[in-house]
Amino acid sequence: MVTASLPQALAAWREAPRVRPLNNRALVRGGRYVLCWLQQALRAHDNPVIDAAIRLGNALGLPVLVYHGLREDYPYASDRLHRFILGASIDLAAGCAARGLACVRHVDRAAAREKGLVHRLAADAAGVVLEDQPGFVARWQAERVAARTGVPVYAVNAACLVPPAVLSNAISGRGGFLRRHEPERAAWSEWGEEAPDTPPYSGPLPFAPDRPEEGDPGALVASLAIDHSLPPSETHAAGRAAAEAHLARAATIVLPSYASARNDATRRDSASGLSPYFHFGVLGPREVMQAASAAAPGKQHLAKFADELLGWREWFHYQAWRLQSPERWDRVAPWARATLADHAADPRPEAESLNAMLRGETRDETWNACQRQFLADGWMHNNLRMYWGKRIIAMTPSPEAAWATACYLNDRLSLDGRDPSTWGNIAATFAGTPSEREQPIYGRVATRGDGSTRRREGGDAWLAQAASRAVPQISVPAEVPVDPYLTGYSTP
Ligand SMILES: Cc1cc2nc3c(=O)[nH]c(=O)nc-3n(C[C@H](O)[C@H](O)[C@H](O)COP(=O)(O)OP(=O)(O)OC[C@H]3O[C@@H](n4cnc5c(N)ncnc54)[C@H](O)[C@@H]3O)c2cc1C
């Protein structure tokens, strides 16, 4: 059990509720630096992980060393994910340099294999500051480093505007969550960035860092042992400039009609398209809410946007923070699992092969339109995702297979997948409000039609075009993995 308290530099910080110790070790006085290990919060500014490390470093008279590593063997590693991460990593390093911080990177590959780099870097550190991410491989990697290293490890929440720890840990519904969350928002919207007191770290390192900005990131990614059948997104470029362009477009074009247009999947400008940048932390909610408010799109539009970004996204982060394994089937509401189990043996005339589903070649035109957005763009419009998720229940042999397939497709293809919002939304899609009517296969889980898209002007034509758009022919596994994040990944 972890009983350590925070060192004064972090305990006295106004952002202290974001921080929790992951082990009971004491700060090492002879350390060369404070190690700041980033996995997903890949931004140099408005980043509480970096700020916490700077505070700790200043208190100890030490510089901060920011580290980001990119490995070949994380689940679903592909050209799509690797290019996106590498772009963010390159801009992270440039932003750190501008802040007076050293940032070192390593891209793992056959020609430059390094084992246990985080542990080796931690061996020279006074302490480690890392991210508090409640899912994918990040959580157990952080716990593993904390258990094995001889220095204190502090986990910092960077994903949410309001850190989950300031909310009661017994909230059971979104209504109760909003009642606790909304009054906290104003206080957490203000922040002041920390400045390092010492020059950037320039001492010895246990490896020769990579400088991916100096070569061709495409060639580097092409040389790796990852899934090359999934190319980069057609709509979401990597890096901070692309994120800022999406944010500027959202502020000026999307938000002024957001409350009324958000459900229209036929229009690209009905949604911000920001979720990939949130998932990889290129943008944070604090900065984005400030930009949205500054754009003054109108009260109802701003309120709707805040409800999605803070009311829904942070609700799912809160749920994941409380769950040991937020990505597992057993998180779906018990009544929904029970009613789906009651109908598990029902005939499934609309069952599809994994090959047809993965490639968007099923008998369901609307579903194919949804899936092809994932395939080509690495992103899907919110309104399509609900239909897409519900239909998988009828297309697969059992409720558990439906869960595994939905998570697999989402996590492999979507840039914003492998996220608390992924599993929270799929769980909600598989449950929601119980319907009065008992139906084959679904039991009392409500089904959903495609009318909200099809009935729009030009909706039929849009769906037909979207269902036949050219997409990458990606590799198809023999079966979808079950609980892929718990196995098959080695030491960071
Ligand atoms: C079955 C299903 C699977 C989903 N999988 C994911 C996923 O893997 N990753 C993911 O980030 N979101 C997921 N969502 C939620 C939502 O569909 C996406 O966040 C949204 O479509 C992203 O597009 P956008 O950035 O244009 O959203 P916008 O409408 O512009 O919203 C702005 C931001 O608010 C947040 N947001 C919006 N809707 C939701 C929501 N329902 N839940 C949580 N946050 C929300 C996102 O961070 C988003 O970027 C899923 C929804 C469903 C129904």
pLDDT tens digits for range 78-115:
999 999 999 999 999 999 999 999 999 999 999 999 99
What is the tens place of the pLDDT at every residue in 199-228?
999 999 999 999 999 999 999 999 999 999
* 314 plus 395 within the same structural domain: no
Q: Ligand 1 within 6 A of 410 CB?
A: yes
CA angle, 331 then 264 then 181, to 5°: 45
Query: What local confidence, expressed as pLDDT, does residue 241 receive?
Result: 98
* 164 plus 301 within the same structural domain: yes
Q: Ligand 1 within 6 A of 414 CB?
A: yes
Name the residue with the closest Cα to ligand 1, atom 43.
313
* 146 plus 268 within the same structural domain: no
What is the tens place of the pLDDT at every residue in 382-401?
999 999 999 999 999 999 99
Final residue belonging to a domain, choices 140, 158, 176 = 158
- 222 within a domain of the structure (yes/no): no
* 243 plus 353 within the same structural domain: no
- 481 within a domain of the structure (yes/no): no
* Per-residue pLDDT at 256 exceeds 60: yes
Query: What local confidence, expressed as pLDDT, does residue 352 receive?
Result: 98
- Enumerate the H helices of 271-324 as residue ranges: 275-279, 285-294, 299-306, 313-322
* Per-residue pLDDT at 492 exceeds 80: no
What is the tens place of the pLDDT at every residue in 308-361?
999 999 999 999 999 989 999 999 999 999 999 999 999 999 999 999 999 999
Q: Tell how far the Cα of 275 is from the centroid of ligand 1, in angstroms.
A: 6
* 441 plus 384 within the same structural domain: yes
* 10 plus 65 within the same structural domain: yes
Q: Ligand 1 within 6 A of 141 CB?
A: no
Collect all residues with Cβ–Cβ distance below 8 Å to 286 and sequence separation of at least 6. Answer: 46, 161, 188, 189, 191
* 263 plus 131 within the same structural domain: no
Buried b (16+ CB within 10 A) or exposed e, 195-231: ebebebbeeebeeeebebeeeebeebbeebebbeebb
Residue 394 contacts residue 364 (beta carbons within 8 Å): no
- 402 within a domain of the structure (yes/no): yes
Query: What local confidence, expressed as pLDDT, does residue 87 receive?
Result: 97
Q: Tell how far the Cα of 421 is from the centroid of ligand 1, in angstroms.
A: 7
Name the residue with the closest Cα to ligand 1, atom 53.
386
The CATH number of residue 70's host domain is 3.40.50.620
What residues form DSSP beta bridges with 219? none
Q: Ligand 1 within 6 A of 429 CB?
A: yes
Q: Tell how far the Cα of 382 is from the centroid of ligand 1, in angstroms.
A: 6
H or E element that contains 33: strand 33-37
Atom number of ligand 1 nearest to Cα 285:
47
Number of domains making up the chain: 3
* 339 plus 414 within the same structural domain: yes
Return d(Cα 384, Cα 279) in angstroms, integer.
19
Q: Ligand 1 within 6 A of 136 CB?
A: no
Q: Ligand 1 within 6 A of 272 CB?
A: yes
Q: Ligand 1 within 6 A of 56 CB?
A: no
- 216 within a domain of the structure (yes/no): no
Q: Ligand 1 within 6 A of 270 CB?
A: no
- 242 within a domain of the structure (yes/no): yes
What is the tens place of the pLDDT at every residue in 263-277?
999 998 999 999 999
Ramachandran region, residue 61 (left: φ > 0; alpha: ψ -120 to 50; beta: rest): left
Q: Tell how far the Cα of 291 is from the centroid of ligand 1, in angstroms.
A: 19
Name the residue with the closest Cα to ligand 1, atom 21.
382
Query: What local confidence, expressed as pLDDT, does residue 395 receive?
Result: 98
* 347 plus 318 within the same structural domain: no
Q: What is the arithmetic mean of pLDDT over 454-469?
A: 98
Query: What local confidence, expressed as pLDDT, does residue 483 receive?
Result: 80
The CATH number of residue 242's host domain is 1.25.40.80
In the predicted model, what is the mean pLDDT of the chain?
A: 96
* 18 plus 133 within the same structural domain: yes
Residue 103, SS3 per DSSP: strand
CA angle, 136 then 125 then 21, to 5°: 50
- 223 within a domain of the structure (yes/no): no
Burial of 190 (0-12, 13-18, 19+ CB in 10 A): exposed
* 443 plus 345 within the same structural domain: yes
What is the tens place of the pLDDT at every residue in 11-26?
999 999 999 999 999 9
Query: Token pair for residue 176?
Result: 């109760």
Residue 443, SS3 per DSSP: strand
**Using DSSP, how many helices (H) and how many strands (E) does the chain show?**
22, 6
**Backbone phi, then psi, for 441, in 5-degree steps?**
65, -50
The CATH number of residue 415's host domain is 1.10.579.10
Residue written as token pair 């495609």:
450
- 273 within a domain of the structure (yes/no): yes
- 128 within a domain of the structure (yes/no): yes
Q: In which domain, by residue range, is 83 found?
A: 1-158
* 317 plus 333 within the same structural domain: no
